[in-house]
Copies of this chain bind each other. A is one copy, B any other.
Amino acid sequence: MSAVPERCLDCLVRDTALCSAMEDQELVALSAIGRRKIYPGGQVVTWSGDPNSFCANIVTGVLKVTASTPDGREQIVGLLHPGDFVGEPFAEEAPLTITAVSDTDLCLFPRESFQRTMDEHPRMEKLLLRRTMASLTQAQQRLLALGRRNAGEKIAGFLIDLCDRMAPDAEGPVEIDLPISRGEMADYLGLTIETVSRQLTGLRRDGVVSFEKGNRHFRVLDRARLEHLADPE
């Protein structure tokens, strides 16, 4: 009988990824089929249309999930962070392209083995169901943003969401590092890079945010105003 490997017991996401639904001794089953792999930033993890061989947990790093039109227009449909689950355990063909935004450490599972393991561990399956439901609700909120909000509202909403994720309970001015480039913000919000840039300089000019140490690092000076811009009534 095999033991739970060290890489699981002291894993950074032991208590936030799907494995959090498992007792230590159950981890044997998952760890037996999982292996770690690091993808450098910019590298593609899965191409849309390829055979769908893997699922994964993110240990460190950020992934973007993208859909595109045949003529090359791109839409980022999701950004995934440490602890998040990656993939579609039931599709034969990968529906979307997945790319590492920064260097990313994944705990990979062959899709079919993962399905079997899930069958034997209902608590993990239940947790995956809850998370998938939550992802769906989030995607639905984003449908509203893409379909009905204008550029300013999209940008403000994006920054608010970032704050909530990075510093859920901060009071004063919040400092944030953007995980993605201007071009990726554009692909996330259904805008062009130029529109993103103009909206951000607008916010800076109005004193709502300030940028520092390069244009990836910024500070929210007036959160109330930002919230009002994101959701005007």
Contact = CB atoms under 8 A, between A and B. Distances in A.
A65 B139 CA distance: 13
Interface string A48-91: 00000000000000000101111101110110000000001111
A193 interface: no
A166 B20 CA distance: 42
A140 B70 contact: no
A137 B65 contact: no
Interface stretch (A33-41, A125-133, A199-207): A125-133
A15 interface: no
Contacts of A190: 146-148
A167 interface: no
Interface in A75-133: 75, 77-78, 88-91, 95-96, 119, 122, 125-126, 128-130, 132-133
A115 to B, nearest CB: 10
B143 A75 contact: yes
A177 interface: no
Contacts of A141: 67, 95
Given A90-B130, A95-B137, 17 more contacts: A67-B141, A68-B144, A68-B148, A69-B148, A70-B231, A71-B232, A74-B148, A77-B140, A88-B133, A96-B140, A125-B126, A125-B129, A139-B139, A143-B146, A146-B146, A146-B190, A148-B190
